[in-house]
Amino acid sequence: MKFNKKIKITLTIFVMIALLSTGFLYMKNKNIEEIPYTLFLSHVEKDLVEEVELSNSEKFKVILKNGSVFITDNPRKESFKEELLLNNIKVIEKDETISQTIPMLFTIFIMGFLLFHISRNMSKQAAREMSQMSKIDTENNSKRLTFSDVAGNEEAKEALMDLVDFMKNPEVYNKLGARLPRGVLLYGPPGTGKTLLAKAMAGEAGVPFFPVSGSDFVQVYAGLGASRIRELFKKAKEVGKSVIFIDEIDCLGKKRQGNNFAGSEEGDRTLNALLTEMSGFNDNDGIIVVAATNRIDILDEALLRPGRFDRQIEVNLPDVNGRYKILKLHSENKPISKDVDLRKLALDTVYFSGAKLESLMNEAAILAAKEKSNEITSDHISKAYYTVLVGDEKKDRSTINLRDKEITAYHEAGHALVTKLVAKENRVSKVSIIPSTKGMGGFSINLPPDKMYQSKKDILSNIMIALGGRAAEEIIFGKDFVTTGASSDLEKATEMTLSMIALLGMDEEVGLVNYKVVGNRNLDNKLVLDRAKEILDKLYLETKKLLMDNIESLKILANNLIEKEVLSEEEINHLISIEI
Ligand code: ADP
Ligand code: ZN
């Protein structure tokens, strides 16, 4: 803005001066009548001319004896002055060149000044852009963040803590031949504190933080993205130990899809520059690149290979405990009324990200300030709650949330309980109803020490585990109220069933024929499909029966999930052991 204004002023001045000086020159001759050269010659012949003002310019001035003044064309021939003198005409030589060059010089000067100014401002602009992209902002560093500014996210913090130690004491690791990881990928929904974590990591390590966004690198001129990357790393190398943070890395490193648009080629070039830079620095440089994305599934695998972003840390939406901690953290500097129950608020804010919780407390504070209240009351918070939700989606999430929560809880409890019932040796390491980037819910199982082979029994159990979610939904909510939540489960179950019978020869009726080999030769596909349906239906009935027989366990698990949102392995085992 400032820069535009300056240019405008300079331009105006320049134009005014130019107008004035040309105007002046013009005016000088303007009121004087011009006569043809031939007429001038006849005046000379008639001895009417008193005086001539000669210069190098196009015209010259003639003063007649009767006092009238003319201008006429200057013949500019060498003997002209002599001829005039011979005709008894007074000749005054005027060096008009000077009076002409002055405005010209002036113009050149102004033009130069202007060009210099513009170009300087343009490079300034570029520099500013560059520095905006990778600011080692003192602003940023003025308040150094630490992990205490990040509430919840314990697992991510722990993983990053290790890296901080790496950066602080590289000798310890180097001695043992350990290599400092170069890249860490934080992935998870927006607003869950990925940027915050990266900043805190730099803060903990006491090193500069260079934040950029992948989207800064797209839609720039050919080659500029790549050179910006190189510039960024150069800067980081200059300061030594540092954290480079690349937000929205998916903008840079989308899976290559084979189509060769110019744009994607440009993206590739930028991505390649990034990969080259990352493999280019020495372990001792102590530079760590932290990248963040909401979409790990669309990332180019090249980014995830060893020596690149080989550490991947999931940053999920907070569970009820995490939400409580975040709410507490963001209430610390605010006068909160005694009637506010943050624990209860944490319960009411399922699926809120850290950013949303922060914004909730902030909105509440704004409302309180508007009302000139001394403290933030629960009334302000509930009003703010709706502001935050409305800004998000135009539906009343509070009621939907509860229902969603219940459905998800029973669904996930179904998976977990079936696991414990049909495959006791399987560990259920965690059950959660907070959606993760990997899919609905957060049910996760770990098979016991990796087996080389899976038996038919294992596959059948796994199919039942996959069907457990839908089965629980049907038992609790009724046939007509089952949800789309099971879609990927059914995909998995169908796939397992089909490979069991059509590829692995594990079904007596279909036999040992491998249908991959048969391929398109159109053998008896109907037989396979019918068998698959039969098997799935039968297993589904079995799964439902299993859950009905253990309905109390299912309810206990689900209710605990609704309350706590996440259950650990011990909690699950404990809850189930009461009943089984
Ligand atoms: P992301 O990078 O994952 O999109 P950010 O780190 O930009 O999310 O989070 C935005 C803001 O939300 C943060 O500046 C902070 O105020 C708040 N926030 C998010 N997660 C947390 C958390 N775990 N603890 C405290 N504040 C958080
Ligand atoms: Zn499921």
Q: Which tens digit of pLDDT belongs to each residue from 13-51?
A: 665 666 665 555 555 555 678 888 878 788 887 888 888
CA distances from 445 to 88, 105, 154, 398 (A): 119, 82, 20, 30
State the DSSP string of 228-286.
Answer: HHHHHHHHHHHH-SEEEEEESGGGTSBPP-S---HHHHHHHHHHHHHHHHHHHS-GGG-
Please tell me the distance between residue 191's alpha carbon and the centre of ligand 1 in angstroms.
Answer: 5
Element holding 126 (H helix, E strand)? helix 96-133
What is the β-pairing status of strands 242-247 and 287-293?
parallel
Please tell me the distance between residue 442's alpha carbon and the centre of ligand 2 in angstroms.
Answer: 9
Cβ-based neighbours of 160, under 8 Å, separated by 6 or more:
147, 184, 197, 200, 201, 204, 313
CATH of the domain spanning 402-579: 1.20.58.760
Ligand 1 closest atom vs CA 247? 2
| Cβ atoms of residues 466 and 441 within 8 Å | no
For a substitution probing ligand 1, which of 358, 359, 361 has the most ligand atoms within 8 Å of its CB? Answer: 358
* Residue 147 pLDDT greater than 90, yes or no: yes
Q: What angle do CA 446, 452, 455 make, to 5 degrees?
A: 80
* Residue 141 pLDDT greater than 60, yes or no: no
Residue owning the nearest CA to atom 15 of ligand 1: 355
Can you tell me which residue has the tokens 């990881």? 181
For helices 456-477 and 487-498, what crossing angle results, to 10°? 150
* Residue 446 pLDDT greater than 50, yes or no: yes
For helices 525-549 and 397-422, what crossing angle results, to 10°? 100
CATH of the domain spanning 2-98: 3.30.720.210
Structure tokens belonging to residue 313: 């840390």
Ramachandran quadrant class, 475 (left: phi over 0; alpha: psi -120 to 50; beta: rest): alpha
Structure tokens belonging to residue 429: 């390491």
What's the whole-model pTM score?
A: 0.63
Ligand 1 closest atom vs CA 292? 2
* Residue 393 pLDDT greater than 60, yes or no: no
Q: CATH topology of 147-314 equal to that of 325-390? A: no
Count helices and strands (H / E) in the chain: 22, 13
What local confidence, expressed as pLDDT, does residue 176 receive? 87
Q: Mean pLDDT over residues 401-419, rounded?
A: 90
77-91, 112-126, 463-477: which has the minimum mean pLDDT?
112-126
What local confidence, expressed as pLDDT, does residue 181 receive? 81
Please tell me the distance between residue 326's alpha carbon and the centre of ligand 1 in angstroms.
Answer: 9
Cβ-based neighbours of 228, under 8 Å, separated by 6 or more:
130, 133, 216, 217, 220, 270
Domain ranges of the chain: 2-98, 147-314, 325-390, 402-579
CATH of the domain spanning 147-314: 3.40.50.300
Cβ-based neighbours of 103, under 8 Å, separated by 6 or more:
21, 22, 25
Ligand 1 closest atom vs CA 188? 3
Cβ-based neighbours of 439, under 8 Å, separated by 6 or more:
488
What's the CATH architecture for 325-390? Orthogonal Bundle (1.10)
Hey, what amino acid is at 6?
K
C-beta 355 within 6 A of ligand 1: yes
| Cβ atoms of residues 479 and 449 within 8 Å | no
What local confidence, expressed as pLDDT, does residue 448 receive? 56
